[in-house]
Structure formats: structure tokens, C-alpha cells
Chain A
Amino acid sequence: MTNSIAEKRRQQEDEDDEEDGDLEGWGERNYTDERSWEALQEDESGLLRPIDNKAMYHAQYRRRLRSLSAASNSHRIQKGLIRFLYIVLDLSRAASVMDFRPSRMAVVAKNAEAFIREFFDQNPLSQIALVTIKDGVAHSLTELGGSPESHIKALMAKLECSGDSSLQNALDHVHEYLDQIPSYGHREVLILYSALTSCDPGDIMETIQKCKKSKIRCSVIGLSAEMFICKHLCQETGGLYSVALDESHFKDLILEHAPPPPAIAEFAIANLIKMGFPQRAAEGSISICSCHKESKVGEGYICPRCKARVCELPTECCICGLTLVSSPHLARSYHHLFPIAPFDEVKPSCHNEPHLKSQKTCFGCQQSLVNPGNKPSLHVACPNCKQYFCLDCDIYIHESLHNCPGSQILGSTDKAVEQSLDHTNRANLHALKKDVQKEFKDHMHHMDCNFCNDMYFHYGCTPNL
């Protein structure tokens, strides 16, 4: 009985993870209860109080946002949206150490899974491959591919660790593959390194230079302590090096690699890629699926070039090698190109501005920005549209929505199609407003006679209803 409850809770937790993406902080709290004393602080009268998590979390989030936007403001926004990423998992003896619960390996696997899902959500046209290091040798677990499920399945199936770890073998192995990637793609390696040593067959410095020449961006997340060789590798290749403090920190660090990195001209040459936009196969049609090699009914996509049938998008046609996408997939990445500016915190003193003084509710969600004590609570303002937002909306807008509701209003007029408002239109508008009140009541009384035939009810007759 307790098993099933635990199971259920785990599922719930997983769902939370998926839904919240970056807001993982609170989902974790259930498990860190054992350290509950850390969430207490003493106030001025000596009483213990829980730390105001919300304010702290928000401050943390804003710092991250600012640093991100500072990085991207410096030059014109160009991001590497087409990425080829190798994830290297260190499954040497060191991965079985239990300083992370239940073991480093389990924590790495769990978070790698979350990362893979998030990665494909944010970079629908990119590809991932998995590599493991075990017994001093690097092995490919999966080939480059765009389907999160197949990677996760392969990852979960092969979880055992032994032997030493070798950074050089891993890099050589990855280099061999990444070197053949088309030049427009961003070549990246993300190493999740548990060990404190590397047992290499040759001079690792040479390998690092080789990677640098091939423009492979190497990043490392360490699970034990900082190592010079890792830091050197990341510095040389332009990657990020970080060491995780605990599980939630590890999760933050790994998820930082999900959004596309800024495109640096030398890393990837801009190019035009030929892609196909397949149409959905008609429902009920039977055809042989080229990816599963069996016949399937309906619900497929037809490659526009070779007319082969594939099951899901995005993918690469198995027959002619054309990249197949749908327009929403491309659109999923567009928000990286048009990021919204971070909102400015509003100091209580700013309230003297006359036109803003009246705004007492959050522009997004209508929540009151005034605390019960008539004291204005902490809130932010969009630099573009000058509307006020509450902290929750701030986070939601930047992390998930990627639209400022207020700026839509001002922004779109700039791009407006030229069309003058002629006088008849305006006159009509006035007339419209006047008769609304009068007419709707009259009209509703006549409404019943409009429904004399039963066409609205007959489902079969109205397929397009």
C-alpha cells in the first residue's frame, strides 16, 4: 500500500517537473524536509520564522535573468538554434558514490532525463546523442537523434557503473562523430563528470586542441570537486564549467544548458538548410511506415520529396535524408530570437508618477498589488509598455509565455499596416455602441424563432460545425 502511494507521489513529482520546467524549486521541498532547519531565520525579536522563500526565489530568478540578458544584449541576437549535442555520462566507479541520494548515477540519470525533455522542448530541430564512460572506455549509447523517448529509454536501460573514467577517450570518441556534422550546426558536448581523475591513453591537451579546432563547445558539470583539466577544457572550447553542490543545484546547472547558446560566428557558419514541410496523411489511409518498417493506419506524415511515410515530426526522412518539420516546430524556437526585456523593479518612491499611481492591479492577472495593510507590495514594471506586473506574472511571462501582454498592445502598431480610419467607420463605431444596449434585449426575445429546424442538433448533418 505504501509502495503504491510512493509510486503515485513520484509520478506526481515527475509531472510537476515537466510542467514547471524551471520552477522546480518548490517541487523539491518535499524531499529536503530533513534539512528543515535551514529554512528558518531569526527575526529581530529572536523568534524563529520561515525564510520568505518567495522574495528570495524571485531575487535569485531576477539575477539569472539579468545576467542572461546582459550576455545577449551585447551583440545582435543570433542563437545557435540547430544544435548537435553529445551528452557524456560518467559511469565510472566514482558514479556509485552515495553523497547524492541514492547515488550520483541515479541523480545524473534522473536529471538527464528531465534535461532531454526540456532540451527538445526548447530546441525542436536539434539532436542529441548519449555517450557513456565505463572501464576507461567511451561507448555510444545512442546515435544522434531527435526523439526524446528513444534516448531516455536507452539511458534508463544501461545504468551500471564500474572502472575508471577517461576524459580523453570520451572526447576522442565524440570528436570523431561531431567532426562530420554540417557546418551550420552547433557542435556541443555536455559532460556530466563524477570522477576526480581521468585515466588517459595519451596527451589530453592535444585532444583539447583538436576539439577547439573542430569548434566543439565542451561544457562540464562536476559532481565532486573542481578539476583543473575540466576547467581548462571548458575555457579553451568556450564552454561552461560548474560543480554541483546538491541535487537541486545540479538540476539548475544542467537545465541551464537547455536554452540555445548565443551563436558565435566562428562556431557555426550561417547557412540555408533545405527542409520539408510534410502534410498529414489522410485519416484511415494505410501505408508502410518508413521508420518502423511496418504498415500503419492514418496519423502519419508524407515526405514531400520521396513520399515516404514517417510517424512523427520533427525527423529526418529515412529514405532521402530531408529534414522534416512542421511550422509550429519552428515557431517553438522563435521566442529565443525575440526575448522580452527583463522588467524593472518598482521602488515605492516611484509611485508619485501620476499616470501609474492609479494602477493598483497587476496588468496581467488583475491581482491586487496592494497588500492588505494598504502598503504596496513588491512589483515590477515592463520597460516597454510601463505596465505594472506582480512577481508571479513576471516569472511566468519570462519563463513560459515569452510575451509581455502590455507590449503587444503598443508594439504591434509600429508594424501596422497603413490604413486610415475613414469617417464612415468612425461614425459606425459610435452607432454600434449606442444600439448595443437597446438591441440585444429585443434580439434575444426573437431568438427562439431562429431555431426551428433541428440542424443544430443533428451531428451527422453538420460535420463542419
Chain B
Amino acid sequence: MPQVRIIAKNFMDMVASLPAMKLDRLYQNAFICEAILRSLPPLAKKYVVQMLFFDGPISGKLLEEWVLADGVTKHKVAIDRLIQLRIFTEAVDKKRESSYKLNQTFQVNLQKHLTNGGVLPREPMASTVRLPSLEELDTYAHEQWEVGSSSLCFHYPSHLHCSGQAEKPTNLSSSMMRIFQRGLLTQRDKDAPRLTEGGFQFLLMDTNAQLWYIIRDYISNSEERGTDPADLISFLLELSFHVTGEAYNMNTLTEIQRNAIKELADLGLVKLQQGRKESWFIPTKLATNLSVSLTDSSSRKQFASSLMILVGMFFMVIVIMHATGHVVVETNFRIYAYSSSKLHCEILRLFSKIEYQLPNLIVGAITKESLYTAFDNGITADQIISFLQQNAHPRVAERLPSVPENVTDQIRLWEADLNRVEMTSSHLYDEFPSRDTFEAACDFAREWNSLLWEDSKKMRLVVKAEIHMNMREFLRGQK
């Protein structure tokens, strides 16, 4: 299944990498059209809307005329993206000028949306039973998520004793558990599983990224379980257009969707309930926020220019839940976290020294040692800082900066300490027969951009290891 194991950086890339036929089928679903449109860069959105009621092809020149000179790169990016997603089809005429045409299905769907205002994917059930309130749903979604992520924490080596009391993970289905653990944990023989570097970073990622990570795995592994990823994507997006807190009959779902929804329930996207005759599902905020798009400017390094819709939305919710953030960092490097959550405690423990824990308060301190352990585990200073900033207590978050500058600076400095020496594998050449050969060798190395050091007096030079073979060839030629 080569096309499934994509190293997609974001969800839209993932959609774009679907084969053309599947992509066209996706666009038959109006919700997907809407969600995809939202994920586009602003300029691309504008082009689509501008051309929505336009039947013929538009020449690329006309489009470009609307962009100022310094926006040309943006124009190119937008067009590329649109073609990649097969929203635009490109035609080159005899004069080698390209013109673009909107994807027919996509266009019709969005036109309908504008004129009719869109419809609901399915009618909610007439409520006969008491449905959970929105708050209850939020807590439910939140708890489900924590169960997932804490299943990782309990494998953190220094807390092996914790994994003994793994009361919680039991209600997580094994398939979801597998997803959580794939790539994040390594298990050697009979040792308790250990967190990988990726696992550490996962815990500190902002919540959007976390959900993204999981959903990405979930989708890309869907074929192993015999599900078409396109179906899954379309279902996830469709789910996002349901109304939070309404009950929907399970009978309206297809077989594949019914399977998927059970697993999504584990993530807290939906809540399942069983009545006497029929069963229904209730989307939580996590699910209905699925189509919020996040643009490039907002994303983080590892997921640079990414984090589009799907994921964005999901985790928006957790951001909202965390928006009642809990961490206060003082200028004396102490951390106070108003939380009773074990997960929070474990996350803090990754980079700080937990001193004591009160019923609703965790008190810790950031020390050089605690940070060094964190850095050893592959966590970066930026991750720690952004974690502290994103989870700042609302009272602190009002202020700028929410984390004291001396603390952020010091964290960066300690990290920089570790990076003072940079290792580059290299080769030393000396005892050159003549100055000419030496200089020729230097020039050669410079051309390859891999001359690290030279000492013209003693005629020695150090060259990066990569070009050792070329260098040897070259020196042989000199002789």
C-alpha cells in the first residue's frame, strides 16, 4: 500500500496525495468542499470564491493582475495548491498561456451552498430521552482524551510504579491504544515500554498538534484495517458539520462509519448511547469544531505550514478546555499548576522538579538538572516555553509576557549551553607534497562548501566527512 504510508506533513497534503479518482469522489460531498475551501491559503480562497459563478476558464494572467507585485509568490503558492487539490484544472493554450477552470463538482456544491445556505448532513433524532448537557459532553470529551494521553505517561521510566495502577487505560479500545502507542513507545523484549523521543515531544505539543498526530496515524493506518482512507476523511469532515449535543441515529450510518465511530468515541469525538430499540451518537465539541481552519502563520515548526482543518478543529477544543489554563510561572523559577490532573503532573515532571502536590495544586521548580533531563529526552526549550505559555493561568495570560522573561531566557540559555559544541564528522589531511597541491585542495573543498579549517603554514586542512571520497579522488588526480 505505497500511497498510504505517506509522510504527510499536514492533513491537506494528505488529502492532496489521494489519487485523482478518490479526490473527485470526495468533492461530491458538499461538506468536504466547504472544509477544504476553508483550509486553503487566503488568496486561494479568494480565487475560488471569485470564480464560483464563472463557467469558462480564466486565464492565469487575469488572476495575477489582481495581485500586487510583492504578492506574486503568494499567487504561485495559491495556484499550486489549487491544482494539487484538483480544485483548479489547468489548460495551456497555443500561446503557452495557462488558464484555469474550477472543478465542476466542487463548483456546483459551493454554488448550492451560497444560494441555499447549506443543509445539515442528517436530521437529529427527536429527543425522547434526556440528552447530556453541553458541559457534561465537554467533560466527557476531555476525560476521554486524557485517558489516551496519560496511557503514555504511565510508561515514563521513572514512574514505573505508576503503571502498576493502570486503572484507567482499560476502557480504551485496543485499536486506539495501538495508535496512541505506535511510534511513541518502544518496547524491548519484556521490559516495560519506554517513551520514545517522539513520545516526549508528543506530550509537550500543543493540543492541536497532538490530535493531529493521532488522527494522522489513524487515517494512514486505516487501510490495514480494511477501510478506505477517503471514506474515513469524508466521514470525519462530515461529522464536523453536525450539531453539538444533538443525538443522531446510528442507523443512518454506513457500516464503515459505524465502525469508525466506535473508535472515535474513544477519542472523545462522539458519545455513544444505547436506547431500548436503537442507539444513537452525540457529537461533542471536539467533533463539531473539526472544520475550523488554521492557517500557515499559526503553526509550529515541526508541522510548519500545516495543521489544517481537521486537526485544528479537534484540538481547538482541548485548547478551549485548557484555555482555563492552570500554570503560573514565577520569576524565581517556581511553577504552580492549579490542577488535580495526573496527566498535568506527569507532563510537568518532564521538565521540572515537582516539590509537592496539594489536592488542587501542583508546586514545582524549574532547575538546571530537570531541564537537562528534558533536553536529554529530546525536548526543546521552545517546546517547554510554548507549553508554559499556552497553559498559562488566565490571570497570568492576560499579561504579556505570560511567562517571565528571565525564565524563558534562562531556559533558552541552558539549552544553548548544551549546544556550544557542534559535532561534524570530518577528515584531516596533512603532509601535502607542495603548497600548490595544498591550495588546490583547499579550493576544491571550498567549492564543495565543506572546508572546515585550514592552516596554511603547516599545510593542514580539515574537510567534512561527506566529501572524503571526492577529495581522495581529487588528490589522486593531482599526483
Determine if A67 is an interface residue (Cβ-Cβ < 8 Å): no
* A interface residue count range (under 10 / 10 to 19 / 20 to 34 / 35 or more): 10 to 19
Question: What is the CB-to-nearest-CB distance from A462 to chain B, in angstroms, rounded to a whole number?
Answer: 11
Determine if A447 is an interface residue (Cβ-Cβ < 8 Å): yes
Determine if A460 is an interface residue (Cβ-Cβ < 8 Å): yes
Determine if B63 is an interface residue (Cβ-Cβ < 8 Å): yes
Question: What is the CB-to-nearest-CB distance from B278 to chain A, in angstroms, rounded to a whole number?
Answer: 35
Query: Bound complex: CA of A2 vs CA of B405, how far in Å?
Result: 8
Q: Which residues of A contact B66 (CB under 8 A)?
A: 457, 459
Determine if B453 is an interface residue (Cβ-Cβ < 8 Å): no
Determine if A31 is an interface residue (Cβ-Cβ < 8 Å): no
Given A1-B409, A460-B65, check contact A441 B55 (CB 8 Å): no
Determine if B50 is an interface residue (Cβ-Cβ < 8 Å): yes
Q: 1/0 per residue B112-123: CB within 8 Å of A?
A: 001110000000
Q: 1/0 per residue B384-421: CB within 8 Å of A?
A: 00000000000000001100010001000000000000
> Which one, A448, A459, A460, contacts B53 given CB within 8 A?
A448
Given A454-B58, A457-B62, A457-B63, check contact A444 B405 (CB 8 Å): no
B44-88 interface with A by 8 A CB criterion: 50, 53-56, 58, 62-63, 65-66
B55 near A448 (CB under 8 angstroms)? yes
Query: Bound complex: CA of A253 vs CA of B248, how far in Å?
Result: 64
B62 near A454 (CB under 8 angstroms)? yes
**Main SS of the interface on chain B?**
helix
> Which one, B55, B65, B114, B400, contacts A452 given CB within 8 A?
B55
Query: Bound complex: CA of A445 vs CA of B111, how far in Å?
Result: 9
How many contacts A-B (CB < 8 Å)?
Answer: 36
Closest residue of B by beta carbon distance from A460: B65
A459 near B65 (CB under 8 angstroms)? yes
Q: Which residues of B contact A458 (CB under 8 A)?
A: 62, 65
Q: 1/0 per residue A427-442: CB within 8 Å of B?
A: 0000000000000010
Determine if A451 is an interface residue (Cβ-Cβ < 8 Å): yes
A444 near B114 (CB under 8 angstroms)? yes
Query: Bound complex: CA of A1 vs CA of B408, how far in Å?
Result: 12
Question: What is the CB-to-nearest-CB distance from A150 to chain B, in angstroms, rounded to a whole number?
Answer: 33
Given A459-B65, A460-B65, check contact A448 B54 (CB 8 Å): yes
Closest residue of B by beta carbon distance from A447: B53
Q: Which residues of B contact A441 (CB under 8 A)?
A: 115-116
B50 near A457 (CB under 8 angstroms)? yes
Closest residue of B by beta carbon distance from A30: B399
Q: Which residues of A contact B116 (CB under 8 A)?
A: 441
Question: What is the CB-to-nearest-CB distance from B134 to chain A, in angstroms, rounded to a whole number?
Answer: 16
Question: What is the CB-to-nearest-CB distance from B316 to chain A, in angstroms, rounded to a whole number?
Answer: 24
Question: What is the CB-to-nearest-CB distance from B46 to chain A, in angstroms, rounded to a whole number?
Answer: 12
Query: Bound complex: CA of A112 vs CA of B58, how far in Å?
Result: 57
Query: Bound complex: CA of A457 vs CA of B99, how far in Å?
Result: 13
Question: What is the CB-to-nearest-CB distance from B410 to chain A, in angstroms, rounded to a whole number?
Answer: 12
Query: Bound complex: CA of A1 vs CA of B405, how far in Å?
Result: 10
Closest residue of B by beta carbon distance from A448: B53
Q: Which residues of B contact A421 (CB under 8 A)?
A: none
Question: What is the CB-to-nearest-CB distance from A59 to chain B, in angstroms, rounded to a whole number?
Answer: 24
Question: What is the CB-to-nearest-CB distance from A260 to chain B, in angstroms, rounded to a whole number?
Answer: 37
Q: 1/0 per residue A5-38: CB within 8 Å of B?
A: 1000100000000000000000000000000000
Q: Which residues of A contact B400 (CB under 8 A)?
A: 9
> Which one, B54, B63, B65, contacts A451 given CB within 8 A?
B54
Query: Bound complex: CA of A454 vs CA of B53, how far in Å?
Result: 11
Residues of A within 8 A of B (CB): 1-2, 5, 9, 441, 444-445, 447-448, 450-452, 454, 457-460
Please list 14 pairs of residues, one from A and one from B, whose beta carbons are closer than 8 Å in the complex, sorted by A's number.
A5-B405, A9-B400, A445-B115, A448-B53, A448-B111, A451-B54, A451-B55, A452-B55, A454-B58, A457-B63, A457-B65, A458-B62, A459-B65, A459-B66
> What 4 pairs across the A-B complex have the smallest Cβ distances?
A444-B115, A459-B65, A448-B53, A457-B62
